[in-house]
Amino acid sequence: MKGSDINLDYQRRQRIGFDEAIFCDGKSNDQITRILDEAGEKDVSLLLTRISANTCEALEPRHRSAMDYDTVSRTAYFGAAYPIAPGPARVAVVTAGTSDTPVSSEVARTLNYFGQDVLEIRDVGVAGIWRLLDRIDEISDKSVVVVAAGMDGALPSVVCGLVPGLVIAVPTSVGYGVSDRGRAALHTALASCAPGLLTVNIDNGYGAACAAIRAIAPTRPEAKD
């Protein structure tokens, strides 16, 4: 929309292999409506992130009916997602605790939107390390492992010391007091002695998913059906 506050990047997939996502937190209902109108006119699908249930409910019925909305991850698919790639999942998404699920679900939903199947393993934090060890063979089989953890944020380092694939840490804003809304977990990941651990920003499940896609699918995906 020339001259407006909306300027969607329709060439992103041609440049880097996957489409622009729409970060909805901070956008008005009018702005989101105009984005969806433009996408509908051009017959393109969109991934919307950080869209609240209230915002989704306030949209016009014609837009809500075209959306697949998930309340846990606060993501929505507007139109059709990419077809899931054939074969077994190449990415595992591992969650330290149930409280980290909103972030890990954003990872999984983003990967699913872009055509990647996911193995999700939840509530295997280091306070009960046997829970992780019970699943470590499944996790070790994956090319990329995304680990979401708050509080002390120890799980990504532990996983990175046990599996051969790329490990991406997602610090989450879960925890008491000095956890400082994810900063302690972020610092733990950045200071990790586990070689090769990569780290994204606090609660950035979308960014972690995009990093995983770049690692396993460096070529441009096929067009959506």
What does the DSSP assignment read for the chain? -TTSS----TTHHHHHSSPPEEE-TT--HHHHHHHHHHHHHHT--EEEES--HHHHHHS-HHHHTTEEEETTTTEEEESPPPPPPSSS--EEEEESSGGGHHHHHHHHHHHHHTT--EEEE-S--GGGHHHHHTTHHHHHTSSEEEEEE-TT--HHHHHHTT-SSEEEEEE-S-SSGGGGGGHHHHHHHHT--STT-EE--TT-HHHHHHHHHHHH--SPPPPP-
- Cα 155 from chain centroid? 18
74's tokens: 């606060």
Mean pLDDT calculated for residue range 54-74: 93
What are 84-98's pLDDT values in tens digits?
888 999 999 999 999
What was the pLDDT predicted at 219?
A: 59
pLDDT at 80: 86
Which strand ranges, in their side-by-side order, compose the sheet holding 118-121? 118-121, 91-95, 144-149, 166-171, 198-199
Contact 191, 88 (CB under 8 A): no
pLDDT at residue 85, rounded to an integer: 84
Model confidence pLDDT, tens digit, residues 2-32: 547 888 888 888 888 888 899 999 999 999 9
Q: Which residues are within 8 A (CB) of 158 and not within 5 positions of it... i.e. 6 or more apart?
A: 126, 129, 132, 194
Q: What angle do CA 194, 124, 69 make, to 5 degrees?
A: 105
Q: In this structure, which topology does domain 91-216 adopt according to CATH?
A: Rossmann fold (3.40.50)
Q: Where are the domains of the chain?
A: 12-78, 91-216
Tens of pLDDT along 193-208? Answer: 999 999 999 999 999 9
